């Protein structure tokens, strides 16, 4: 099947990740399927649809589906006002039809039955999924109703499509389990039970959920650790947890003498829930068995039959792929968090200065990134402050961040030069001996003057400006000393800026993840930070930083955040000259 990507004339190309996910989802469907965007243009089509319509995907992508395909019984273009599919599309609802026609690429008509439903394409993009079957023209008799299947074919395929979309759009295991349960209960069963095999080959009953009307009730008293999986037991759950097969079960299955601890737990489950009929399928990834999914019916009169098992297996297979991806992601995140903890520095003790720092990882990335801060003592006893952002929020960005930070420390310690000159040296080195493509940063030094005040000297390499808040709540951005970001290859002299920090004032250095929000200009975020920082000026420093992260950081932020704050003493300490002038 061709990649579901628009042509250049139809606008910007869809992101590669979203296109690939759409391709995989459509390829898994056994009937003709295509997806249209909010304007009704085809953005994805599967191989079965290409075959039924005698059209290659390239002839359909980017085209208006109604104009291209919809015809009346005589092969004439169907007016939009008479098209039931078009009306359902504009209403954004699920609908189906039995007697319509599509135009094939060879000029013939294809009698079809169809189902459409809203479809989440990804990246906040919404579309509509169209599933269709070829039907025999002028059917004398309808196809026989499949008595063994609980769902009509199109509804089954729509459920599988929804399952794929819902489960592959999250990398959180708990959220994936919640979505899985919501998909099958109460649509297919009264009860859903999920048993997972942990990384240590232990079994954990992760979910026992019952449908009380439209409300899902979680029974935590039935969840928790399970006995080990027996190697040879033929009992249904034991077999599923070994990946052997899906099967049916009922209370009578576990009335015999139990052959394992799992059988005892299953008897307890049936007794506690009142499940009369159950279907159990293994949850497998491409690499291993991850657990088992059990659907139970206590109130619905129809028992599960073997005809229900293929649908359950398809759902469990999709759940296995999604859970495997989520687990791999969480393992990577754990490694990343450990790496980040080692990369971020401990704050040194500087007499009479309060300092604190916070780092929040990107919520939807690898929990590690290129945002960083640093505080260290220089060889002349001044204190160096730095905050920066290496492009990206993944392990590669974190490695680049470590390179930049370590080189900065080395230059700043060995070269007793102004911040601007240190950053010039760093920029030149970044271009030649690192893989960092682009970075922004502020590098500053702070030291106590002879009169007891604190003096800040800094240079800014394309970074958001520091914010200085007085004890009385006056907040101003320090916009001087601004220059190009690192990694441009442009050789330019950088500027230094100097400011005296008032007694009891607070200085904030931060990265753009604190203020940037998609769809909003940067000035809005800067204004939001200034307003909240001024209102929190009286708070203890740790409380101020925590509250700023809660109030200022955008809810939909997909970037990591580094925040460094320091506060000068409320009263300057008299220097040596002032002490000698003090009367005795």
pTM above 0.85, yes or no: no
Quick one: what percent of the chain has pLDDT higher than 70? 86
Examine the domain organization and report whether 328 and 355 are in the same domain. no
Q: Token pair of 337, please?
A: 């968090």
Tokens 């599967």 label which residue? 46
Domain end call among 143, 174, 208: 143
Q: What is the CATH number of the domain that holds 379?
A: 3.60.40.10
Average pLDDT (331-343) is 64
Instruction: Please give the Cα distance from 47 to 34 (Å, whole number).
Output: 10
Confidence of residue 10 (pLDDT cuts 50, 70, 90): very low
Q: What is the CATH number of the domain that holds 131?
A: 3.30.450.20
Helix (H, G, I), strand (E, B) or coil at 342: helix
Q: Token pair of 364, please?
A: 């939807």
Q: What is the pLDDT of residues 442-483, one digit of tens each?
A: 999 999 987 778 999 999 999 999 999 999 999 999 999 999
The answer to the question of residue 157 being in a domain is no
Instruction: Please give the Cα distance from 459 to 498 (Å, whole number).
Output: 9
Examine the domain organization and report whether 393 and 306 are in the same domain. no
Confidence of residue 148 (pLDDT cuts 50, 70, 90): very low
The answer to the question of residue 352 being in a domain is yes
* pLDDT, position 498: 97
Residue 333 buriedness (CB in 10 A; 0-12 / 13-18 / 19+):
middle
The answer to the question of residue 3 being in a domain is no
Q: What is the pLDDT of residues 481-525, one digit of tens each?
A: 999 999 888 888 999 999 999 999 999 999 999 999 888 899 999
The answer to the question of residue 152 being in a domain is no
- How long, in residues, is the chain? 584
Domain span at residue 549? 344-567
Examine the domain organization and report whether 127 and 246 are in the same domain. no
Examine the domain organization and report whether 286 and 194 are in the same domain. yes
Confidence of residue 331 (pLDDT cuts 50, 70, 90): confident
Examine the domain organization and report whether 26 and 72 are in the same domain. yes
Q: What are the beta bridge partners of residue 127?
A: 119
Total count of domains within the chain = 3
The Cα-based distances of 53 to 18, 39, 84, 315, 531 in angstroms read 25, 21, 20, 28, 60
The answer to the question of residue 234 being in a domain is yes
If one compares 149 and 415, the residue with the highest pLDDT of the two is 415
Instruction: Please give the Cα distance from 441 to 239 (Å, whole number).
Output: 57
Examine the domain organization and report whether 306 and 383 are in the same domain. no
Examine the domain organization and report whether 356 and 453 are in the same domain. yes
Examine the domain organization and report whether 389 and 260 are in the same domain. no
The answer to the question of residue 481 being in a domain is yes
Examine the domain organization and report whether 77 and 182 are in the same domain. no
Domain end call among 333, 365, 388: 333
The answer to the question of residue 150 being in a domain is no
Q: Are 429 and 407 in contact (CB under 8 A)?
A: yes
Residue whose C-alpha is closest to residue 472's, from 503, 497, 512: 503
Helix (H, G, I), strand (E, B) or coil at 421: helix
Cβ count near 287 (within 10 Å): 9
Examine the domain organization and report whether 197 and 279 are in the same domain. yes
Examine the domain organization and report whether 352 and 419 are in the same domain. yes
The answer to the question of residue 317 being in a domain is yes
Q: What is the pLDDT of residues 383-424, one digit of tens each?
A: 999 999 988 656 677 777 888 989 999 999 999 899 999 999
Examine the domain organization and report whether 323 and 355 are in the same domain. no
Q: What is the CATH number of the domain that holds 249?
A: 3.30.450.40
């Amino acid at each position: 099947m061709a990649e579901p990507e628009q042509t250049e004339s139809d606008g910007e190309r869809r992101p590669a990740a979203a296109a690939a996910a759409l391709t995989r989802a459509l390829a898994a469907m056994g009937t003709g399927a295509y997806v249209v965007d909010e304007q009704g243009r085809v953005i994805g089509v599967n191989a079965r649809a290409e075959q039924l319509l005698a059209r290659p995907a390239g002839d359909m992508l980017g085209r208006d589906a109604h104009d291209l395909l919809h015809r009346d019984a005589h092969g004439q273009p169907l007016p939009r006002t008479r098209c039931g599919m078009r009306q359902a599309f504009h209403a954004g609802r699920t609908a189906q039809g039995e007697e319509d026609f599509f135009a094939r690429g060879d000029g013939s008509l294809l009698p079809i039955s169809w189902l459409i439903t809203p479809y989440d394409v990804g990246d906040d993009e919404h579309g509509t999924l169209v599933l269709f079957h070829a039907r025999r023209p002028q059917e004398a008799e309808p196809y026989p109703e499949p008595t063994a299947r609980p769902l009509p074919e199109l509804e089954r395929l729509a459920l599988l499509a929804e399952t794929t979309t819902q489960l592959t759009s999250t990398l959180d295991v708990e959220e994936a389990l919640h979505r899985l349960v919501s998909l099958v209960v109460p649509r297919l069963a009264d009860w859903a039970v999920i048993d997972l095999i942990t990384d240590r080959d232990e079994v954990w009953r992760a979910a026992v959920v019952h449908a009380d009307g439209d409300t899902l009730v979680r029974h935590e008293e039935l969840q928790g650790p399970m006995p080990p999986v027996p190697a040879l037991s033929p009992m249904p759950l034991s077999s599923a947890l070994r990946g052997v097969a899906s099967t049916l079960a009922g209370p009578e299955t576990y009335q015999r003498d139990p052959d394992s601890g799992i059988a005892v737990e299953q008897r307890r489950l049936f007794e506690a829930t009142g499940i009369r009929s159950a279907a159990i399928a293994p949850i497998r990834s491409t690499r291993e068995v991850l657990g088992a999914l059990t659907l139970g019916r206590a109130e619905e009169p129809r028992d599960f039959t073997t005809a229900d098992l293929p649908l359950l297996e398809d759902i469990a297979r999709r759940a296995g792929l999604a859970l495997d991806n989520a687990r791999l992601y969480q393992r990577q995140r754990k490694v990343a968090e450990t790496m980040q903890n080692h990369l971020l520095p401990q704050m040194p003790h500087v007499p009479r200065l309060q300092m604190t720092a916070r780092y929040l990882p990107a919520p939807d990335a690898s929990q590690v990134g290129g945002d960083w801060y640093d505080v260290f003592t220089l060889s002349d006893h001044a204190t160096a402050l730095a905050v920066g952002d290496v492009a990206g929020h993944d392990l590669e960005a974190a490695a680049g961040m470590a390179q930049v930070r370590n080189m900065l420390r080395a230059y700043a310690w060995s070269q007793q030069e102004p911040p601007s000159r240190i950053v010039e040296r760093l920029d030149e080195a970044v271009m030649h001996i690192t893989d960092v493509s682009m970075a922004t940063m502020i590098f500053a030094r702070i030291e106590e003057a002879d009169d007891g005040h604190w003096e800040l000297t800094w240079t800014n390499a394309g970074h958001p400006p520091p914010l200085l808040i007085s004890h009385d709540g006056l907040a101003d951005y320090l916009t001087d000393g601004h220059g190009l970001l690192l990694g441009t290859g442009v050789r330019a002299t950088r500027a230094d800026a100097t400011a005296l920090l008032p007694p009891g004032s607070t200085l904030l250095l931060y990265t753009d993840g604190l203020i940037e929000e998609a769809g909003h200009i940067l000035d809005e975020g800067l204004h939001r930070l200034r307003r909240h920082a001024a209102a929190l000026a009286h708070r203890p420093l740790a409380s101020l930083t925590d509250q700023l992260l809660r109030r200022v950081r955008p809810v939909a932020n997909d970037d990591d955040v580094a925040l460094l704050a320091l506060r000068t003493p409320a009263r300057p300490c008299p220097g040596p000259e002032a002490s000698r002038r003090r009367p005795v």
